[in-house]
Structure 1
Amino acid sequence: MRRRRIIARLIGIQRVLVKYGLDDVIKQTHLFRPLRFLFYLFPRRRTSSAPLGERIRLALEELGPIFVKFGQVISTRRDLLPREIADELAKLQDEVPPFPGEIAVAILNEAYGKPVDEVFERFDIEPFAAASIAQVHTAQLPNGAEVIVKLLRPGVQDLIERDLEVLRMFAGLADRYWEHGKRLRPLELVDEYEHTIIDELDLMREAANTAQLKRNFAGSDMLYVPDIYWDFCRPEVLVQERIYGIPISDMDALREAGTNIQVLAENGVEIFFTQVFRHNFFHADMHPGNIFVIATDPEKPKYAAVDFGIIGTLSPSDQRYLAENFLAFFDRDYHRIAKLHLDSGWVPEGTRIDQLETAVRTVCEPIFNKPLAEISFAQVLMRLFRVAQRFNVEIQPQMILLHKTLFNIEGLGRELYPQLDLWKTAHPVLKKWMSDRLGPAAMLDDLRENLPQLRDAMRELPAAIRYLADRAESGSSDRAQQTAEIRKIRGELKSLHRQRMWLTAAVVFVSAAAVVFTILAVH
C-alpha cells in the first residue's frame, strides 16, 4: 500500500512538472535517473504558456505545503534569482489560494463545540491571508479586542505525511546513487525536516512558542510579539492579537513612512543573534510574509513578527562552539577555526591543520571589509561545500534550522539595506555573549547550578575507587575487554564532539537552490 501511494504521488509530481513545462529538471539530473521512466510511461504535453516564474510558483502551489516551504526559502534570495522569478516566488508568502470561509466556520464550530457567532463578537468569513499549512481570518473578541484566527488547512497532515514518504524515497536514492550521499546523510535530513514540519501542525505549540518569545523580548524597543488569547486556542486553532504594521517587503511604504532603513537592518541582525545566543530560542521561519515594521517613530522602527510554528534551539556546547567559530571568523584567525574543527571531530583524523587552515582562508577572506552588497553568503557556502567535499565532512542535520534562518537573514538584509555589514553588526553581540558566558559571574552561576550533581558524584567516588581496586586485584579486567571499553568510550566522545558541528548543514539550502538553478538553466 505504501509503495503504491508513493508511486501515485510520483506520477502526480511528474504530471505537475510536465503541465508547467518543468520536467527537464528531472530528465537532466543524474540523481533522478531512476525516475525517468515516468516520463515515458505517462507522457503529457505542456498546458501552460505563462512566464517561467509564474509556472514555477504555480507548480509549487499545486504540489503542496512542503514544496511551498521550499519556494518561500528561495524567494528571499533576490541576489541569486532573476527578478521575475523572485517576484513570483514572493507571492508564496501570503498569496497561496485560500480554502472557502464556510469550511473555516465548520472547523471552528467543531473545535469549540458551539456556533462561531457564540464565540466571537465578529468573525470575518473572507480569509485575510492563506499559507501552505494554515489560513488566517480576522475577528473581534467579546471584549472588543481585534484578533487573527489561524486555522490548519483541512487534510494538510495527510498531504504532508504523503510527501514525506516521497522525500524519504528521494533521500534513499541519494544515499544509494549519489557520490556524496553517504557523507551528507539525506535520510537523517528528512527525519529532521519531518520533526520540524510536524511541529507546525500543532497550533498550541505555536501559541506556546509565541508566549515564550514575548517574554524574552518584554520591554524591547526592537521587536514586538503579539499577545496570545489562550482561552480561544485549540490544537487546530490559534487566536492572537492582530498586528498593524508595514510588511517588511514593502520598501515603498517603508520609505514613504520615513523609516530609518539602516537602523532597521542593523536591529534585525542584532535580534537574530540575541535570539540564538542570549535566549537560545530563535524564530526559524523568518521569511518576509512573517515580519512587519511598526514605524510610529520612523527613526526607531520596531519589528513585529508572527508565525512561530518553527523555533530553533541549540545545546550549550553548540552555542559556544558556534560563537567561537564566528569570533574566529571576525578576527580572521583561520588557524583557530581549523583547530576548532579538528578538535571537534569535524574532519577525519589525520587531516593536516595547515591544509584545512588554507582552505578556510580561501573561502572566508573575501567576506571581510566589504558591505553585504558586494558579497554573497550563499556563494561562500557553496565554496565551503567544496572544502567539505575535499575533507570528507559529514553533514549535521540538527543545524539546518539555524542555517535556514541565516539564509533568510541575508535575503532580508539585501532587500532592506544592501550596505549592511552583517558580520560587523553581529560582532559586539557575540563578544558580549562570550564575556557573559566565560566571565567570573558566569563561572559562579555554573558552579551553583552544578553543585548538587558534584556533591552526589563526590559521595559515589569512594565506592567507584574500591570497585576499580577490587577488579585490579582479581585480574578480571583483561586487556581485550579494556581495549573494547576504551574504543567504545572514544566512539561516544567522538559522537558527542560531532554534535557541535554547524557549518556544513548550510549546504542543504545551497543544494536546494541548485534545483532552481537547473530549471533556470534549462529554460
Structure 2
Amino acid sequence: MRASSGAATRCARPGADLMARLLKPSWIPTPLVAASEQPPVLIAPVRPPGAWRTWLVLGTAMSLAIVFLGRWLTRRFDRRAFAVRVRRAVERVGGLWIKAGQLVSLRVDLLPVELCEELAKLQTQALGFPPARAREIVERELGAPLDVVFDRWDEAPIAAASIGQVHRARLRREQTWVAVKIQKPASAELFARDLALVRRAVAVLKVLQVYRHMNWDAGMHELRQIVKEELDFGYEGSMMRRMRRNLRRHRVYVPKVFSRYSTPRVLVTELAPAVFMADYIRVAREDPPRLERWLIENDVDPRRVGRRLAWSLERQILEDNLFHGDLHPGNIGLLRGNRVALIDFGTTNFTDVEYLRKFEVFIRAIASEQHAKAADVALLLCARLPVIDTSMVREHLVRALRAWHARALVRALPYHVRSLNSLTLDVMRTLLGFRCTMEWAWLRLHRAMSTLDASLVQLYPRIDFRGLTARYLAQADRRRRRLVTSPETARRTVAAAARVPEIQERVRDYAAFQTQAIRRQAQRFRGVARKVSSATAALLELAMIAAWLQTAAVAALAVHGAFPSWIDRAVGPQVAAAIERLPHLDPQPAALVLLLDVWVLFAMRRVRRELIRRDVDLARHSAAAAG
C-alpha cells in the first residue's frame, strides 16, 4: 500500500483513538542498558548474487567435509566443536542458508543434538547495507520523499538480519516513533539462487540415502513456504495484527502495524521501548546488582513474568491455534508491572486442527500423570510407524514419561532436565530408537517451547512445568465454560438452530463421502489380500508337489529295503541299480517318516482350500462393493 503524499504532509497530532491503541507511557520501563552500550550494526556494500555465490557455498561445504573426514579418520572428532564450526560456516554464507539451518535444527529426532542446538542459535545476525540504499527503497515503496513521511530518521540501523534491517524513525503525521523494517536489495534473487542450491543438495542426499527418514520433500516444501513469506512483509504484518488481537486477552502487548506505510518490502510498526530479554540475560551475568535495582524500580517479578510467558505460549498453541514460533530472548520485551511485549512475527505458525486435538490430549495426559495414555497418543502423533511391535514402543515411552515426571518434581535439578522441551526431546529420542519419526507440526511446537526456555531459565529456574500446565488447563476449561454460557453463544445457538436442515444435509453428504472413502480403502485392502492369498496358495501347491515326491521316494526306499526283488521287476534293472546306490531305510523309521509326510500333506491341503475359499469370498465382496 503506497502512502499518499498529501496525507503524509499533514502534521496533525494523533487523535485519542490512536493514542489508545499505542503502548501506554506508564508501561514503559526505565532503560537497563544505555544506547551507547549497544554494539553498532556493521555496514557492508550489497553484492548482487552471481556465480561467486555458488562457489562460496561449494567451497564452504568442501572445507566442512575435509575437516569432518580428517577429524573422523584421526579419531579426534568432537561433535560439539564440529557443530560450532557448521554454525559459523552457515552464518558466514548467510542468505537462505540461515533459514535452512534453522529448519534443519528442528529435526532433533534424527540429527545429533549438538548440531541441532548450534543451528538453533542462528538468529540471523548479519551485516547491514548502506543507509543510502535503505532510503532509496523506502522512498520508492512509499512513493514519496523520506522527509514527507517521517520527520525523524536515524541513518544507522538498530538491527540487521539476512533478509533486511531495521531503522528507527518518527512518523510525521502520527508523531509516533516506529521501527521501519526494510528488505535487503536483491533478496529475491539471492533466495532464488540459494533455493536452487539447496534443492540440488537435497537431491544428492536423497540419492546417497542420507537420513532416509528425514522426509526431505516435506522439508523442501517448508523451506519454499518460508521463502515466500520472508520475501513479502505483508505476511508478517497480517500475522502481527492477528496476534495483537489474540494476545491482548493474554495481557501480552504486540506493537501496532501502520498498514498505510507498509508494503511487501517495507514494514512499519510501533517502536516497542521495552527491555529485551537478551539484555536482561547479559546484565544478569555481568552486573546482578544493577539488574536487581532495575527490577525493583520497574515493579517486575521475574517469576510472574515467567509464568505469564509460559501460560501465554500454551494458550497460543492450544486455544488460539496461532503461536509465535521463535520466542528467543531478542523477541521478548519486559515492561513495567510484570507486563510483556513480543516482536518479530515472521515465524508465526498454526497447526492442523485434528493434529492439535491429539496434541492437547497428550498434554492433558502428561498434566494428569496418565503416562500410558500419553504414550498411546504419542504414537498417533508420529509421521509414520514402521512394522514394529508397538507394545514395546509404548513400554519404552511410558518409562521415559515417568522418568521425566520424577525429574520434574525435584526442583533442585537443573532446569534443562525438567522442562517441557526435555519431555518432548525424550519422546522423540525414544521413538527414534524404533525408527519412528515425527510430523513437522510436532517439530514446530517443540521449537517454540525450546526457544522460550532460554528466557524461562533466567526468569524462573525452579518452575514446576507439570503443575503450571495443570493450572493452565484448569483456566482454559473455565474460559470454555464461560464461552458456552455467554449471551453471544446463546444467540449463535438460536441462529444455528435455523440451519439444522442444512447441517443435516451436509452431514449426509459427509457420511456418503466417508463411506465411499472407506469402501475404496477396503477395496484396496481386499486387492492386496487377494494377491497375498493367491500367492500363498500357489506356493503351498508347489510345496505339496514336493512333499508328494518326497513321500514317494521314502516309500520306494522302504520297499526296496524290505523287498528288493519287487523293485527290480517293477522299475527295471537300470533304475533299480540307481536306487541301490541310495541309503537304505529300516522299516520302522520309514513308517514314521511316511506318517509325518501324510499329516503334513493333509494340513497343507486344508490351508490351501481355506485360502482359495477366502479368495473367492474377497472377490465376491469386491464385486459387491464396486456395484
Structure 1 spans left out of the alignment, 5+ residues: 31-50, 469-476, 491-523
Q: 1:11 to 1:450 in 2, by over 3 A?
A: farther
**CA-to-aligned-CA distance 1:357-409 (integer Å, 9 cap, x gap):** 31112322232213461506666555434432344424322443322212212
Structure 2 spans left out of the alignment, 5+ residues: 1-48, 73-80, 284-289, 527-627
Worse overlay, 346-355 or 304-313: 346-355
Partner of 1:60: 90
Residue 105 (structure 1) aligned to one of 122, 131, 135: 135
Partner of 1:375: 417
Q: 1:343 to 1:57 in 2, by over 3 A?
A: closer
Give 1:216 shift.
1.3
Alignment of 1:12 with 2:56, yes or no, is yes
Listed as ranges, the matches of 1:317-328 within 5 Å are 317-328=354-365
Amino acid at match of 1:486: A
The answer to whether the Cα contact below 8 Å between 1:246 and 1:254 also exists between their aligned partners in 2 is no
Partner of 1:287: 328
Counterpart-to-counterpart distance in 2, 1:201 and 1:335? 45
Residue 311 (structure 1) aligned to one of 331, 338, 348: 348
Give 1:225 shift.
0.8
Amino acid at match of 2:358: Y
Listed as ranges, the matches of 1:291-370 within 5 Å are 291-294=332-335, 296-297=336-337, 301-341=338-378, 348=385, 352=389, 354-368=391-405, 369-370=409-410
The answer to whether the Cα contact below 8 Å between 1:72 and 1:287 also exists between their aligned partners in 2 is no
Q: 1:464 to 1:163 in 2, by over 3 A?
A: closer
Listed as ranges, the matches of 1:79-228 within 5 Å are 93=123, 95-142=125-172, 143-178=174-209, 180-181=211-212, 183-218=213-248, 220-221=250-251, 223-228=252-257
Partner of 2:533: none
Counterpart-to-counterpart distance in 1, 2:468 and 2:86? 35
RMSD after superposition: 4.4
TM-score (norm 2): 0.60
The answer to whether the Cα contact below 8 Å between 1:229 and 1:240 also exists between their aligned partners in 2 is yes
Alignment of 1:486 with 2:522, yes or no, is yes
**CA-to-aligned-CA distance 1:197-233 (integer Å, 9 cap, x gap):** 4212211221121111111123654x11111112111
Partner of 1:270: 311
Partner of 2:476: 433
Partner of 2:570: none
Partner of 2:448: 405
The answer to whether the Cα contact below 8 Å between 1:334 and 1:357 also exists between their aligned partners in 2 is no
* SS of structure 2 residue aligned to 1:249: helix
Amino acid at match of 1:416: L
Partner of 1:503: none
Greater RCO (CA < 8 Å, at least 6 residues apart): 1
Partner of 1:471: none
Counterpart-to-counterpart distance in 2, 1:56 and 1:464? 51
**CA-to-aligned-CA distance 1:277-299 (integer Å, 9 cap, x gap):** 221111112222222111x23xx
* SS of structure 1 residue aligned to 2:248: coil
Larger Rg: 2
Listed as ranges, the matches of 1:216-255 within 5 Å are 216-218=246-248, 220-221=250-251, 223-250=252-279, 251=281, 252=283, 254-255=291-292
The answer to whether the Cα contact below 8 Å between 1:209 and 1:311 also exists between their aligned partners in 2 is yes
Q: 1:244 to 1:70 in 2, by over 3 A?
A: farther
The answer to whether the Cα contact below 8 Å between 1:152 and 1:237 also exists between their aligned partners in 2 is yes
The answer to whether the Cα contact below 8 Å between 2:306 and 2:460 also exists between their aligned partners in 1 is yes
Give 1:461 shift.
8.4
* SS of structure 2 residue aligned to 1:317: helix
The answer to whether the Cα contact below 8 Å between 2:135 and 2:146 also exists between their aligned partners in 1 is yes
Give 1:334 shift.
2.4
Alignment of 1:260 with 2:296, yes or no, is no
The answer to whether the Cα contact below 8 Å between 1:436 and 1:442 also exists between their aligned partners in 2 is no
The answer to whether the Cα contact below 8 Å between 2:322 and 2:348 also exists between their aligned partners in 1 is yes
Counterpart-to-counterpart distance in 2, 1:287 and 1:275? 16
Amino acid at match of 1:456: E
Counterpart-to-counterpart distance in 2, 1:463 and 1:216? 34
Q: 1:487 to 1:168 in 2, by over 3 A?
A: farther
Counterpart-to-counterpart distance in 1, 2:94 and 2:509? 60
Pairs aligned (count): 440
* SS of structure 1 residue aligned to 2:438: coil
The answer to whether the Cα contact below 8 Å between 1:94 and 1:131 also exists between their aligned partners in 2 is yes
Q: 1:190 to 1:450 in 2, by over 3 A?
A: farther
TM-score (norm 1): 0.71
Amino acid at match of 2:396: A
Work out the percentage of aligned pairs sharing the same amino acid.
21
Counterpart-to-counterpart distance in 1, 2:495 and 2:211? 43
Partner of 1:421: 464
**CA-to-aligned-CA distance 1:154-173 (integer Å, 9 cap, x gap):** 11222222222333333334
Counterpart-to-counterpart distance in 2, 1:384 and 1:117? 55
Amino acid at match of 2:468: T
Give 1:16 shift.
3.6
The answer to whether the Cα contact below 8 Å between 2:182 and 2:267 also exists between their aligned partners in 1 is yes
**CA-to-aligned-CA distance 1:307-359 (integer Å, 9 cap, x gap):** 11221112332222111101112233222123335567766487555323311
Q: 1:374 to 1:59 in 2, by over 3 A?
A: closer
Q: 1:61 to 1:437 in 2, by over 3 A?
A: same
The answer to whether the Cα contact below 8 Å between 1:172 and 1:187 also exists between their aligned partners in 2 is no
Give 1:186 shift.
1.7
Residue 430 (structure 2) aligned to one of 387, 390, 394: 387
Amino acid at match of 2:304: V
Counterpart-to-counterpart distance in 2, 1:419 and 1:336? 27
Give 1:57 shift.
6.2
Q: 1:343 to 1:189 in 2, by over 3 A?
A: closer
Q: 1:483 to 1:13 in 2, by over 3 A?
A: same
The answer to whether the Cα contact below 8 Å between 1:207 and 1:238 also exists between their aligned partners in 2 is yes
Give 1:22 shift.
4.6
